[in-house]
Chain A
């Protein structure tokens, strides 16, 4: 680990939930950088460096994607499918973070090679713990190739 910050792409349409993530990552003091986009189309634009994200300096390749399922414009599953179907992006771990506990959603997510599936807990303490654990696991312990 060279101490280079891991870029997290958070795809979340709910501003409040994005704020929660932001606060948690800020609290964990881990070397990372959170980039938040509010819909599926924006996520794809970022990953493919299109439109407002065309400058590669401003939009570095994310180390991990935190993806909500219900998203405006392009659905979360569709975004997942496109990432995992693209050899250039497929290796980026995609962690689903959603309110949906629906079996069908989980099956579809794993079918499309989601790396993890997390359900947002309604309880504050649990949500905080989940984000902390996520931080330790994916940002501290998990190893990424350079």
Chain B
């Protein structure tokens, strides 16, 4: 048991706990670093992936728009091309020009052009003759052309090609329009011009809504058209976050962060910049083939990163939870270590206090031993010296009666001394001389003991019984026999005037304890002296024989086997029973079995 405690105590020495604390702190730091690094790497990769995906999406939308705008322009060119070299149309126009009052040609022409207007959603259609005079308008009653168109007319009237008038502002209604200018040829190999057609397009009908349309729900995304005008980028449509911008909003081309400017310069691809409002944006830039237009598909950076931001909080959240968990785990382990440490320390200090107490007790016992030994050894010396003095005097005076008495006292004192010395030697040997332990039955021990006291038992007619002869003990056979011998001797010595003296030896089980006993029906012991009887040189009856060391020796032997001894007696004349335990002699057997 004792050695077991000891091993456990050695397992964690106080010093190692600090080491463990530092090790745990290091583990936590490493864990935390790992968690933070992993979180950061995950977040960065998520951000890069997301950004890439978003750019792809932005590019795809821009591509789609460019495709549709190109398609739209091709269709417009197509509309124009049908009329450019159309003999039937040319002859109808000639007939109408020659006789404007003739209802047949006029109505036919109006119907034809009207179909164009309604089917292809042209805002206005104007027919001019070669001199630039308005000859027919749809809707009717238009009186003059806007100056932008008028300026371009001579050029159109001299060419045989369709001309595209890009976004312009009409000075009468201040609206933004586009126009297709188509020269009408004489037809059939003749290059002479009859006049021209002007198809005016209102971008509000289709173009602007189309440009504005964004295929996914978005709070900040938009597409816009720009074209280069000298050193400036001109915004061609109405913007999502600004009004009255078409043809009005112009920005210098040297603004490198402005997507519109970069697009107007012909750049293509993805860029991050600051838009017309001064807000950071991610933009996809495309030029529209065969046109002065460039397209910008842009979205606020904050919207792009909103999901990333959300993910960042999530990552931070998970990271915090992980850090806390790691901290809690490490903390728990640390706490357990501390608890164990303090428990160990408490145990150690208890053990220390215990051994200090034991040491103190041993010291006190040794002091008592020295004291009693010196006192009791000195007594007979005093006797011898004193009676030697008397002897001298009595010899001188010839008092023979006294001489004999003196010698008697001297002899008795030297006998006492000799016995004291023998017993002292004996008791000091208990536990000091190591004898190989053997297994022996209770009966065997009693038999050994009887070798020394049998004669006395017989002479006093004492009956001795052993109740549990088969009980086995494991130890120094001679010492254990001496233990029983002294107890039997003691019992016999104090039988007093018992008519049927009996001694009973046996074993009682008290809980887990095996308790041996030696019981007699003799004189008994006054309860006041139950402790004192085990003292060294302690004799209750000064006239009793012996040095008063028998029970002290018994006690020492019992203690040698980690046991305790006590006496139970109801008092004088009630008999006495000495109980004792020998755990070390019993446990060895259990261990061996």
Most buried by B among A16, A23, A100: A16
B110 sits at the interface (CB 8 A): no
Q: What 1/0 flags go to B521-541 for Cβ under 8 Å of A?
A: 000001011001000011111
Q: Beyond A70-B375, A72-B538, A122-B378, is A38–B385 a contact (Cβ under 8 Å)?
A: no
Q: What 1/0 flags go to B255-273 for Cβ under 8 Å of A?
A: 0000000000000000000
Please report whether the interface of chain B is mostly helix, strand, loop or mixed according to DSSP: helix
Measured CA separation A74–B531 after assembly (Å): 12
Question: What residues of B have a CB within 8 angstroms of the CB of A30 in the complex?
Answer: none
Q: Beyond A70-B376, A102-B371, A128-B389, is A38–B383 a contact (Cβ under 8 Å)?
A: no
Q: Beyond A73-B529, A128-B389, is A120–B382 a contact (Cβ under 8 Å)?
A: yes
- Asked whether, in the complex, the Cβ of B382 is within 8 Å of the Cβ of A39, the reply is no
Q: What 1/0 flags go to B412-445 for Cβ under 8 Å of A?
A: 1100000000000000000000000000000000
A132 sits at the interface (CB 8 A): no
- Asked whether, in the complex, the Cβ of B542 is within 8 Å of the Cβ of A99, the reply is no
Q: Beyond A38-B543, A122-B382, A127-B382, is A19–B389 a contact (Cβ under 8 Å)?
A: no
- Asked whether, in the complex, the Cβ of B383 is within 8 Å of the Cβ of A17, the reply is yes
B387 sits at the interface (CB 8 A): yes
- Asked whether, in the complex, the Cβ of B390 is within 8 Å of the Cβ of A124, the reply is yes
B386 sits at the interface (CB 8 A): yes
Q: What 1/0 flags go to A51-65 for Cβ under 8 Å of B?
A: 000000000000000
Minimum C-beta distance from A3 to chain B (A)? 29
A4 sits at the interface (CB 8 A): no
Q: What 1/0 flags go to A1-36 for Cβ under 8 Å of B?
A: 000000000000111110110010000000000000
Q: Beyond A99-B378, A120-B382, is A70–B542 a contact (Cβ under 8 Å)?
A: no
Measured CA separation A117–B245 after assembly (Å): 128
Question: What residues of B have a CB within 8 angstroms of the CB of A122 in the complex?
Answer: 378, 381-382, 385
Partner of B388, one of A13, A99, A124: A124
Partner of B379, one of A23, A73, A99: A99
B372 sits at the interface (CB 8 A): yes
B116 sits at the interface (CB 8 A): no
B77 sits at the interface (CB 8 A): no
Question: What residues of A have a CB within 8 angstroms of the CB of B376 in the complex?
Answer: 70
Minimum C-beta distance from A137 to chain B (A)? 20
A125 sits at the interface (CB 8 A): yes
A-B contact number at CB 8 A? 75
Q: What 1/0 flags go to A70-87 for Cβ under 8 Å of B?
A: 111110000000000000
Measured CA separation A70–B390 after assembly (Å): 25
Using C-beta atoms within 8 Å of the partner chain, give the interface range for chain B: 20 to 34
B369 sits at the interface (CB 8 A): no
Partner of B382, one of A17, A23, A72, A74: A17
- Asked whether, in the complex, the Cβ of B389 is within 8 Å of the Cβ of A125, the reply is yes
Nearest to B367 among chain A residues (CB) is A104
A111 sits at the interface (CB 8 A): no
Minimum C-beta distance from B290 to chain A (A)? 127
B409 sits at the interface (CB 8 A): yes
Q: What 1/0 flags go to A115-140 for Cβ under 8 Å of B?
A: 00000111111011000000000000
Question: What residues of A have a CB within 8 angstroms of the CB of B409 in the complex?
Answer: 15-16, 19
- Asked whether, in the complex, the Cβ of A72 is within 8 Å of the Cβ of B372, the reply is no
Q: Beyond A13-B542, A19-B409, A23-B390, is A124–B385 a contact (Cβ under 8 Å)?
A: yes
- Asked whether, in the complex, the Cβ of B375 is within 8 Å of the Cβ of A100, the reply is yes
Question: What residues of A have a CB within 8 angstroms of the CB of B371 in the complex?
Answer: 100, 102
Minimum C-beta distance from A88 to chain B (A)? 22
Partner of A39, one of B380, B390, B537, B542: B542
Question: What residues of A have a CB within 8 angstroms of the CB of B390 in the complex?
Answer: 23, 124
Partner of A16, one of B372, B375, B387, B537: B387
- Asked whether, in the complex, the Cβ of A16 is within 8 Å of the Cβ of B389, the reply is no
- Asked whether, in the complex, the Cβ of B389 is within 8 Å of the Cβ of A124, the reply is yes
- Asked whether, in the complex, the Cβ of B412 is within 8 Å of the Cβ of A16, the reply is yes
Minimum C-beta distance from A96 to chain B (A)? 13
| Interface pairs (7), CB distance under 8 Å | A13-B542, A14-B383, A15-B542, A16-B412, A17-B382, A70-B372, A72-B538
* Shortest 10 CB-CB contacts between residues of A and residues of B: A124-B389, A13-B542, A16-B383, A99-B378, A38-B542, A16-B409, A72-B542, A72-B539, A124-B386, A120-B382
Taking Cβ atoms with an 8 Å cutoff, the residues of A that contact B are 13-17, 19-20, 23, 38-39, 70-74, 98-100, 102, 120-125, 127-128
A-B contacts besides A17-B382, A20-B383, 4 pairs, CB < 8 Å = A13-B542, A14-B379, A74-B528, A127-B382
